[in-house]
Each structure stands twice: as structure tokens, then as C-alpha cells.
């Protein structure tokens, strides 16, 4: 008996998320089709120019914006940043350093420090 393996496919939104790009900024042929696991791997290994440009210039999805600003996604929401931002807009925000950005960066640093403390405590407990 031979096993038949079907090709895994995903929706364009899932593929865009895995690629770290904003779906609405991708080419129409990407948004309107389905993406196989092999196609996703190929896009990651050998990104076409449109993917390189999106990763470099944006617009970027919220997780990428948050990471580039050093804040959480919730922090973006608290600040009223709900739209995707371009790299230029992100850099402008960094230069302006508004009060909310400094506050959210401090909060994010505290959250990371606490997570590291808990991890260390749990590791010590298991030893």
C-alpha cells in the first residue's frame, strides 16, 4: 500500500503573516491564490523583489511595527497606532520619541525583565 501525501496549502493571510509582510501590500496574484508549503519555503529562501521591497520599506504589519519600535502590540493600540506603518514612518517616530513611545518601551523592558526573572526562578527550582 502506498501513502498519498497531499500538498499542504495555506491562505494568503497566513503566508503573509509567516513572511512578516502586510497582506494588503502584496501583489494581487499572491492575495488571490493559495500558497503551498513549498512555495512559502521558496519565498523565504529566494524572496522576489516585491517581497524584499516590502520587508525593507513596508508598509509593515503591527507585529513588525511593534518589534521595530521596541514596544508590544498592545502598546501600539494604547497609543492609537492601528494602521500599518512604513519604515520611514517608524524611523520618524523613533526620531520624535513621543512620550507614549518612551513609556511603552519602559513597560516592555520591565515585562521582559520580569519574564527573565521568572524563567531563572523556574530553572533554579528544577535543578
pLDDT, tens only, 80-116: 999 999 999 999 999 998 999 999 999 999 989 998 8
DSSP state string for 37-76:
HHHHHHHHHS--HHHHHHHHH--B-HHHHHHHHTS-HHHH
Q: Give the mean pLDDT of the chain.
A: 89
- How many H-runs (helices) and E-runs (strands) does the chain carry? 8, 2
Residue 5, pLDDT score? 56
pTM exceeding the 0.95 threshold for the entire prediction: no
| Structure letter (DSSP) for residue 83 | S
Amino acid at each position: 500500500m502506498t501513502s498519498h501525501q497531499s500538498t499542504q496549502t495555506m491562505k494568503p493571510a497566513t503566508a503573509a503573516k509567516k513572511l512578516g509582510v502586510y497582506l494588503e501590500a502584496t501583489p494581487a496574484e499572491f492575495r488571490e491564490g493559495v500558497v503551498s508549503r513549498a512555495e512559502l519555503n521558496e519565498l523565504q529562501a529566494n524572496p522576489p523583489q516585491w517581497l524584499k521591497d516590502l520587508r525593507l520599506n513596508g508598509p509593515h504589519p503591527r507585529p513588525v511595527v511593534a518589534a521595530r519600535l521596541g514596544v508590544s502590540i498592545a502598546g501600539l493600540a494604547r497609543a492609537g497606532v492601528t494602521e500599518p506603518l512604513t519604515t520611514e514612518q517608524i524611523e520618524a517616530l523613533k526620531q520624535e520619541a513621543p512620550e507614549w513611545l518612551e513609556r511603552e518601551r519602559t513597560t516592555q523592558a520591565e515585562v521582559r525583565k520580569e519574564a527573565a526573572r521568572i524563567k531563572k526562578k523556574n530553572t533554579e527550582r528544577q535543578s
